[in-house]
Structure formats: structure tokens, C-alpha cells
Amino acid sequence: MQQETHDASSAAGIDLSQFFQVFFEEAGENLETMEQMLLNLDIHNADDEELNAIFRCAHSVKGGAATFGFSDVAELTHQMETLLDKLRRHELSPTAAMVDVLLASGDALKAQLARHQGNGADPLDTAELLVSIRSMSAGGLVAAAAPRAVPVVAVAAPPAAAAAQPGLRQLELTVGPLPDPDEADNLVELFKEITDLGTIEPLDAGRSADGLRRFKVLTTSTDSDLIDLFNFHVAREHIRLAPLGAGYGFHAGAPGTPAADPAAEASEAAQGYGFFANAPGAPSAAGAEPAAATTAVEVHAPAVKVAPPRGEKAAAAPESSTLRVSVEKVDQLINLVGELVITQAMLAQNSKDVDTALHQQMASGLADLERNTRDLQEAVMSIRMIPMSLVFNRFPRMMRDLAAKLGKKVELLQVGEATELDKGLVEKITDPLTHLVRNSCDHGIEMPAERLAKGKPEQGTITLIATHAGGSIVIEVRDDGKGLNRDKLLGKARERGLEVSDAMTDQEVYSLIFAPGFSTAEAVTDVSGRGVGMDVVKKNITALGGTVEIDSAEGYGMTVRVRLPLTLAIMDGMSVGVGEEVYILPLSSVVESFQVQPGLIKTIGGSGRVVEVRDEYMPVIDLERIFNVPRFDFENVSNIMVVVEAEGGRVALLVDELLGQQQVVVKNLESNYRRVDDVSGATIMGDGRVALILDVGSLVRRSRH
């Protein structure tokens, strides 16, 4: 499909394939914005500006798709645009069915765009969607006959020959003067490529003594749509449109003259002459009476009356203050900063023996380098940080569909969407959070009748919360549903042959839902009940260096709390020495450290060793034995213990010395060497040595076996 479009655009004298990626990215953003606005739309009291904004999203996608030759996308968005146009003109009133169809259309458009990007998917059949949208739009024709309807054509009615096709308009297109008058032929080629655009033929042999080219255009498209398309081939100031026989119409680029469509004018003022003149976020001409862009006389006065100055809107455009950069470039930058951090640490290490009195300037320079390196590191790391709203925004749609499927009434609240998390973590945390939200809706929230019988409001509430806590981010999924039943969990565990007892704490009982294959569902459905969800959730979060906790109050609800490190690239660690080797412990896992006293370590079962810390016995792990560290100083035995915590368990690690706390750059050991048991990565120390970063979760699991 991309090759076909490339060939077509080349035939027209311009290669548009270089703009494909920009189109796909901006179209995706438009569809996401449209979905959020549809989900938030109050169908009983729809705001005109909201409807206009939704219309602009569809219009932007259609304009780009038509330009690049993605006819399936252009056709579907054209029909959506028709329905949305009737809604914003109040010829139709929005209904829940319309929102459903528009949401389904958005899903179809995402699939179509993914196919055009080359994922190999089969073409999508949108025939039923198109029929549904056309049917709903046809209801607008009936509504338009009501007294509140606004007549579309007020000045220049179409000739009788064109009246058979509703919406068909006859326009006179004037192009020029151009340095090369033959450039106007590109517009003729455009009509050949986009068959739904209409027809074009030259007037007066197409040429005039004044260097202008004139054409007769038959089309159902609005003037703003045509100008958006023509602008890829001819500058806006060289394009004029007018009803056929009315002489010169408005000048598309002349300052102070009205535009063909109020929304398009507002969008153009906000974003300049980019790909999508009506991208979301562009300010619109608020208060302008929507009307069809048929003639210059009919629709332009309101736009002129309310449109702010062009420069003022340009300053308000969010795109003007952002830059789109590929993730690969950001990752490369972070990697280089990591190398700089290592180099700075090496310089600091080697300068310890230098007499600062003799080399004061060098010492001052090294101090400045350390400060600037840390500032640069923090600034670069912030580039990778993206708001949690990127994850949270996908849940309202999912919740709406799931609640309707289960016959429940659920409200989804979001708190802390602006909280930022590393991009790599955001991508990996999405699936676990999706399962937790679905689990709360399916297992937690009761049916409306059951909630009313318990004295609760029939609409349940699920709350997503993201907050920063120290060097971590905490994400909570709360619901006000039935909560967890301790006896039921113990009963299910015994049925599955799990070792449980009535003496277990509530936290231990709640943690049973993370056991593989464990489920409290009475029946298996396409939503849940197979017991393959929560164990995967915990496994994925643990792999990210995070933890999961559960709080529950039976009859009142449940909270699942996920704690994650802020970034995977650079971490705070505690370096410990064992023999001649140095190991790094994630600082978030370190609980305490203490000196080993004689008789403190006790042997059980012949080989296992435990230590008592504040009336709690925990396993002892000797790092010297696990990693077979060679020892040359036999008098120096491991006499320091570091208590670490992961996956709900604690172990005491035997080490020789504590070397200090520092930030370390995490290097992937698996991709650079191979996987090593009980090691999650590696880093380079200030003296140039490689230190292994220990996988605390793996050490805790080792102690259990």
C-alpha cells in the first residue's frame, strides 16, 4: 500500500512517502484524543466546543489520509465527519449508540493505519461500520427538516444538473500566477488519484493572459478540505475558490480575508501550514455559528468576528514548544551520559592521591565536573520520563466496554496522571495494570442490585493513583467492591493442595491470589477465571525490580499497591566487598546492616543457617560461597550482615565490608555476556573494575528452596 501511494505521488511530481511517519504519529495522536473526548462527552448536554474538537480530529485524519492515498482511512473518516458535522450543527442529537459507533470506528482506523505501516495484517472489512454511520447520518436529514435546522445553502444553490447528488457543489478554482503554470496540473493529478474527491476540468482552455489557470470543480468536499489538499502542491496564496459563475472568491492566503470554514481557520492560525490543519489542541473560533463552507458570503462573517489575531494563536500552539525525537536517539544520549558518569567517577577515584594544595585548579575543575555531570544526568534522565496519563488514558475505554459486558455500573477515577515514570517501565507496566483494573471490575465491583442491597451506591468506583515515594513510584488500584474473603481464599488454597494454615496473617492469605493457577471465580468466562493472571502480574512487576502489596477490607473494597523504581538506567546502590570482589545491592532493597556477634548464626537441618534479628529468624546467604569468590586473606572472614528484602521475604547476606553508597549506571549483562544466576546486571566502578548488581529477588527465592 505504501508503495502504491509512493508511485502515485511520484507521478504527481512530489514524493510524499517521506512524510508517512509524521502522518502516522499525528493520526495516532488525533485518534487517541478523539477517543478520550468521546468517552468524556455528555450526550445529554453536549458542549459545542467538544463536538467541534471531535470533528476536527476526524477531519485532520481524513485530510492526511486522502493526501497520501490511504483511501480506506479517508472513506471511513469521511463518513464519521459527516455524522459529526450534523451533530455539531445540531441537526442531530448525540446518543450512546452514536458514541459506540464512533469509538468502534476509531478502533478500525487504528487497525487500518497499523496495516499501512506494514504490520502484514489483512485488510479490515468496515462495511457494517459504514452502513451504521450512514444510517445515523441519514437520521440527520429528517432532523434537519425541523424548525431548529439551519439551512446549508443560502446564497448559491447548485445548478439543476447537479441537484441529483446531495451535497455536490460546482466551484471555480483559480490557480496562480505561478512561476511555472504547468504546476497547476498537479492538482488535476490529485483528482485522478483520489477518486472520491470529485472531478476537475479546465475553463477557457485552462490558461489566461494574466498567467492564471482556471478550472471547474464538481465536489462534495468543503472548501477547507480542498485547500488543505491543494496546499501540498501549490502555495495557499496562489489558490482561490468561488461558486461557479460568481467570479473571484476568497483568497486562501490573503491576510484579513475570511476562511472557508471557521474551525479550519482557527486551526490554521494555531498550527501554521502543517500536515493537519485541524489537529487536536488547536484553538477554535469559539462561539462561531457552524455552517457549511459553501460560499464566502454565508459563513465567513462569524469567523472574522471572533478569531483572535494570527500571531496570538501561533504563540498558544503546543506544537511550537515541542520536538519529536526518536526513542533510539534518546537511548543513545542516555548511554553516553552513563559513560560520562563512569569517566567522572574514575577521575574522582584517581585524584584522591593528588595534593590539592599543589593542584588546586585541577581539584576545582573536578568538583565542577562532578556537579555538572550530575545535573546533566538528571536532565537527560528527565527526557525519558513520561507521564502516567499515557497508561491511565487507555483504561476509561476498556472500563466502559467491560462494565457494559458484565452489566455493572463503574466509575473510573484517576489521580496523579502527571506523575512521571521512565518510558521503559511505562511500556512494561501497562499489561500488569490492565489486568489489575479488569480484575477489580470483574471480581471486586458487585452487580448494581447487590450493591443497593448492601446499602452502597449502585455505581462502583475504581481509582487509579500514581505518586512518588522517595526513589520509587507507587501505583495503586483501589475499588469499593466486596474485598477479599479470608476463609474463601484459604478454602480455595486447600482445594488446590497449597500449604496453608489458619495462623497465617491476612497479608499472607491475600498473597495466595498470586499463586499460579489460583482463582476465586466460580466459573471461567472470557474475562477471567482461569487463574493465569495475578501470578503473571507479580512475575512481571518483580522482573522490573518492583513489589506488589494487597490491602483488603471485606465488604468495603481492596487496594493493590505496586512499587517500582523510577528508572531502569541509573540506580542508587550500596557497594559491598567480598574478598577482592565488589557487588552492588539495590538501595531500595536494603533494610539494615549490623556486625555479626559470636553465636548469632544458628545452624538448622545440618546445612541451613539462620540469624535472629529482633525476634525474627531469617536465612543467611554467604555471597562468598554462592559466587565462589577466591580468598587470599584467610584471617579476614565475613563478619558483616546486610538485611535485604524482596518478594515479601528477607534474607541476611554475609559480606566482608561496606564500601559505600553511590549511583551506578546499569549495564545489561545478558546482552553483553550471558545470563548469570542471581545477577541482574553490571556496572563499572570508579577504578575501572566491573561490579555485578545482585538480583535480590533471586537470592530470596534461593533461600526458600
User: What is the secondary structure of 218-257 as a DSSP string?
Assistant: EESS-HHHHHHHHTTTS-GGGEEEEETTS---EETT-TTS
- On whether the pTM is more than 0.75, the answer is no
Percent of the chain with pLDDT over 90: 6
Residue 221: CB partners within 8 Å, gap ≥ 6? 197, 198
CATH superfamily name and code, 388-565: Histidine kinase-like ATPase, C-terminal domain (3.30.565.10)
* Range 542-563 average pLDDT: 86
pLDDT one-digit tens code per residue, 485-538: 888 888 888 888 777 888 788 888 888 888 776 666 555 455 554 444 677 788
Distance CA 492, CA 459 (A): 29
- Selected from 3.40.47.10, 1.20.120.160, 3.40.50.300, 1.10.645.10, the CATH number assigned to the domain covering 2-144 reads 1.20.120.160
pLDDT one-digit tens code per residue, 264-304: 433 333 333 333 333 333 333 333 333 333 333 232 323 32
- Sign of the CA dihedral 96, 102, 108, 111? negative
Beta carbons of 93 and 48 less than 8 angstroms apart: no
**Does 262 sit behind a cis peptide bond, omega within 30 degrees of 0 on the bond before it?**
no
CATH 3.40.50.300 corresponds to the domain 160-321? no
Distance CA 49, CA 31 (A): 17
pLDDT one-digit tens code per residue, 186-223: 777 777 767 677 888 887 655 555 677 888 888 887 77
- For the beta carbon of residue 237, count every other beta carbon within 10 angstroms: 11
Residue 520, pLDDT score: 62
Decide if pLDDT at 628 tops 60.
Answer: yes
**Does 565 sit behind a cis peptide bond, omega within 30 degrees of 0 on the bond before it?**
no
Residue 495, pLDDT score: 83
Q: Phi and psi (nearest 5°) for 629?
A: -75, 125
The one-letter amino acid at 33: T
Beta carbons of 418 and 387 less than 8 angstroms apart: yes
Q: What is the mean pLDDT of the chain?
A: 74
Beta carbons of 569 and 330 less than 8 angstroms apart: no
Length of the chain: 705
Beta carbons of 512 and 494 less than 8 angstroms apart: no
- Which run of H or E residues covers position 113? helix 96-116
Residue 25, pLDDT score: 80
Q: Phi and psi (nearest 5°) for 397?
A: -65, -45
Beta carbons of 65 and 5 less than 8 angstroms apart: no
Decide if pLDDT at 352 tops 50.
Answer: yes
Q: Burial level of 148, CB count in 10 A (0-12/13-18/19+)?
A: exposed
Terminal Cα-to-Cα distance of the chain (whole angstroms): 56
Closest-CA residue to 36 (of 314, 325, 393): 393
What 3-state DSSP class applies to 232? coil
The one-letter amino acid at 364: S
What 3-state DSSP class applies to 206? helix
- Give the pLDDT band (50/70/90) at residue 316: very low
* Range 446-466 average pLDDT: 91
Beta carbons of 466 and 413 less than 8 angstroms apart: no
- For the beta carbon of residue 3, count every other beta carbon within 10 angstroms: 8
- Which run of H or E residues covers position 68? helix 48-68
Distance CA 491, CA 266 (A): 64
- Which run of H or E residues covers position 561? strand 557-565
Beta carbons of 243 and 170 less than 8 angstroms apart: yes
The one-letter amino acid at 504: M
Q: What does the longest C-alpha to C-alpha distance in the chain come to?
A: 108
Closest-CA residue to 524 (of 442, 591, 460): 442
Assign domain 570-704 to a CATH class. Answer: mainly beta
Beta carbons of 445 and 481 less than 8 angstroms apart: yes
Q: Which residues face 170 on adjacent strands?
A: 218
Decide if pLDDT at 254 tops 60.
Answer: no
Closest-CA residue to 664 (of 699, 695, 691, 697): 691
Closest-CA residue to 30 (of 3, 79, 65): 65
- For the beta carbon of residue 46, count every other beta carbon within 10 angstroms: 16
